Amino acid sequence: MAITFKSVSYTYQPNTPFEFHALNEISTKIEDGSFTALIGHTGSGKSTFLQHLNALLKPTSGTVLIEDATITHETSNKNLKPLRKKVGIVFQFPEKQLFADTVKKDIAFGPENFGSTPEEAGKLAKKMIELVGLPVSLLDRSPFELSGGQMRRVAIAGVLAMQPNVLVLDEPTAGLDPSGRQEIMHLFTSLQQSQHFTIVLVTHQMEDVANYANHVIVMEHGKIVKEGRPREVFADVEWLHDKQLDVPASTEFAFEMVKRGFHFDKLPLTEQELADDIAAMFKRRRRSNE
Amino acid sequence: MNDIIKVSHLTYKYLQNELPALDDVSFSIPSGAWVAIVGHNGSGKSTLAHSLDGLIDFKQGQVFIDGVELTEANVWKVRSKIGMIFQNPDNQFVGATVEDDVAFGLENMAVPHDEIQARVDSALAQVQMSEFRHKQPDQLSGGQKQRVALAGVIAMQPKIIILDEATSMLDPIGRQEILGVIKRLRRKLGITVLSITHEMDETTSADEIIVLNDGKIIESGKPSLIYAHSDLLLKLGLDVPYSQRLKEALKLRHIQTPQAYSDEKGMVDWLWQSLLKA
């Protein structure tokens, strides 16, 4: 499912002393089936952008096209419910939103609100808990007895239970340890393959951008300041440094090598690419020594 | 060298039938040092931090803080020597404004008003938040809130600061801010720092790293020594510094790499030596 932004601006508290322009003339397209990474500093407008993806916010000016629905300033809230089902948002620290006394009720809450019978919703809960890699036996437990990582998976299962087409993830691995981070990212990529999701990921982890995304949007002061494939966006290391944004560790390392006189045809994005490039350099050196 | 923290044979179980969260842990930390405790979620790191501050009533083992054994009777006295910063910036902001928040602890200790003023001013200056003194918490970023929490701790003039995953909910800039402040505080005030983390980047400035797994210390030593054992760290579900990860990837490609740990700059030097030097 594609989502298109056409000159979208958003102003918080317009015509008051607290007026704040969070988005300025944003135009971009999230392609169907793509994995888009959204990067930028705290306060750059990422969260405001996210909330336009399922019309939680409506543009102050401009239009957002969510599949074939047009959202403008004038769109009434009445017909937005089906849209919100199609675009699921996993907010930051989603485990904070758990509330029910059992895992099953928590996951089933969304579908029941959208008209599923308790039986259907219960079945869905069982399916979703398996999908996020937790044992079915947890369904009757209180979510608050689980570990932090398990709670986060339950919260994600609750969003998946709405069976969305687009999954929006706001820093889904923040606060997790390295193995927890890896598990959650694997979960999303395998879900994307098996369920054909479109994914929008907000992250500060540039390794994840390099490893998983095929489209990167860089935001600053409510504007898109760069957009493209990860290789294009990360090619200009100095520009990103200038914006105080990180690049993947491998790109950073290669950039340091370039400063010392090494040459790369294109800067590597991942450890594997960099190691391959360096291995090729050793091979060439050996050959020229012989 | 006087040890400001000494832990001997500390064992703690949350539930009687479960495996211990801490299993016969012993170590000591010299005054003024920065020690990082690393381990994955559930390894016992936080339990250990809470035991030092008397937040957990352990039955087996001893904890000495600044030469005094921690007991039920002196827990408040010992606690006044330790300042703790927790993970979530929103959960430890109690004041209506930044300066109220920093003054909170001092007010509870019935410190005279003038002195509170002076200590709050100085603490806010130390964490570079003076210009934010009248702001409310919702006007601050996560990193700024953690700096306010740090100011609240500094105002109490502790000898030890314990950071319990204090940066894990912050963005990269917030994290750098906090680490920068900690480094400066150590230099200026000679405070002992114990940081509990699973971010390996945060351990590079430490004097010593203690690796915890299943409640046991399985290794401790200088960062370079710990990083060199990257296979162990990876097995424990921890990260290793980037230079070490690259080294492993090169080994898989049959390239002989230096044995000892080197940081990224050291690795680039080595590559230059082996590949570009005439």
Q: Per-residue pLDDT averaged across B190-202, rounded?
A: 89
Give Cα separations from B150 to A112, B50, B125, B181, B207 (angstroms): 45, 18, 11, 9, 21
Which CATH number does the domain A3-247 belong to among 1.10.3720.10, 3.40.50.300, 1.10.150.120, 1.10.510.10?
A: 3.40.50.300
User: Does A288 score more than 60 pLDDT?
Assistant: yes
Q: Per-residue pLDDT averaged across B205-209, rounded?
A: 92
Tens digits of residue pLDDT in B4-58: 999 999 999 888 777 889 999 999 999 999 999 998 877 888 899 989 999 888 8
**Cα B9 from Cα B62, distance rounded (Å):** 7
Give Cα separations from B30 to B3, B4, B127, B164 (angstroms): 4, 6, 25, 19
Question: In this complex, which of A244, A249, A282 lies closest to B275 when CB atoms are compared?
Answer: A282
C-beta neighbour count of A130 within 10 angstroms: 12
Is the CB of residue B48 less than 8 Å from the CB of residue B211?
no
For residue A18, name the pLDDT band (cuts at 50, 70, 90).
confident
Tens digits of residue pLDDT in B57-68: 888 999 999 999
Chain A residues near residue B87 by CB distance under 8 angstroms? 175
Position B93 scores a pLDDT of: 85
Among chain B residues, the shortest Cα distance to A280 is held by: B253
The minimum CA-CA distance between A178 and chain B, rounded to whole Å, is 6
Among chain B residues, the shortest Cα distance to A256 is held by: B268
User: Does A290 score more than 60 pLDDT?
Assistant: yes
Give a yes or no: residue B233 inside a domain: no
Is the CB of residue B37 less than 8 Å from the CB of residue B48?
yes
Same structural domain for residues B246 and B218? no
Among chain A residues, the shortest Cα distance to B176 is held by: A244
A288/B33: higher pLDDT: B33
Give a yes or no: residue B184 inside a domain: no
Same structural domain for residues B27 and B63? yes
For residue B229, name the pLDDT band (cuts at 50, 70, 90).
confident
Position B1 scores a pLDDT of: 54
Same structural domain for residues B72 and B19? yes
Q: Per-residue pLDDT averaged across A10-26, rounded?
A: 92
**Cα B70 from Cα B55, distance rounded (Å):** 11
Give a yes or no: residue B176 inside a domain: no
Give a yes or no: residue B96 inside a domain: yes
Q: Per-residue pLDDT averaged across A148-173, rounded?
A: 92
Question: In this complex, which of B141, B238, B249 lies closest to A271 when CB atoms are compared?
Answer: B249
Same structural domain for residues B124 and B248? no
Which helix (H) or strand (E) covers residue B149, if one does?
Answer: helix B142-155
Q: Per-residue pLDDT averaged across A176-203, rounded?
A: 89
For residue A258, name the pLDDT band (cuts at 50, 70, 90).
very high
**Cα A162 from Cα A88, distance rounded (Å):** 7
Position A60 scores a pLDDT of: 96
Q: Where in chain A is the domain with CATH 3.40.50.300?
A: 3-247
Same structural domain for residues B73 and B12? yes
The number of helix segments (H) and strand segments (E) in chain A equals 11, 10
Q: What CATH number should be reported for the domain holding residue B57?
A: 3.40.50.300
Tens digits of residue pLDDT in A57-101: 999 999 999 998 999 999 988 888 888 889 999 998 899 899 999
Count of structural domains within chain B = 3
Among chain A residues, the shortest Cα distance to B246 is held by: A271
User: Does B118 score more than 90 pLDDT?
Assistant: yes
Which of B102, B133, B157 terminates a domain? The answer is B157
Q: What percent of chain B has pLDDT over 90?
A: 55
For residue A205, give the DSSP letter.
Answer: -
Chain A residues near residue B171 by CB distance under 8 angstroms? 41-42, 204
A52/A290: higher pLDDT: A52
Q: Can you read off the two tokens belonging to residue A107?
A: 């996951």
CB proximity list for A151: less than 8 A, separation 6 or greater: A95, A98, A143, A144
Least confident of A108-112, B35-39, B195-199: B195-199
Tens digits of residue pLDDT in B153-185: 999 999 999 999 898 888 888 888 888 889 888
Burial B176-212 (b: 16+ CB within 10 A, else e): ebbbebbeebbeeeebbbbbbbbbbbbbeebebbbbb
Same structural domain for residues B151 and B250? no
Task: State the residue range of the domain holding B123.
Answer: 88-157
Same structural domain for residues B63 and B166? yes
For residue B273, give the DSSP letter.
Answer: I
Kindly write down the DSSP assignment for every residue of B107-127, as one continuous string.
Answer: HHTT--HHHHHHHHHHHHHHT
Please identify among residues 57-116 of chain A the ones whose CB lies closer than 8 Å to any CB of chain B: 93
Question: Facing residues of A71 across strands?
Answer: A64
The mean pLDDT value of chain A amounts to: 93
ipTM given for this complex: 0.82
Mutate which: B165, B173, B200, vs A, most A CBs within 10 A: B173
**Cα A25 from Cα A59, distance rounded (Å):** 10
- State whether residue A283 sits within 8 Å of chain B by CB: no
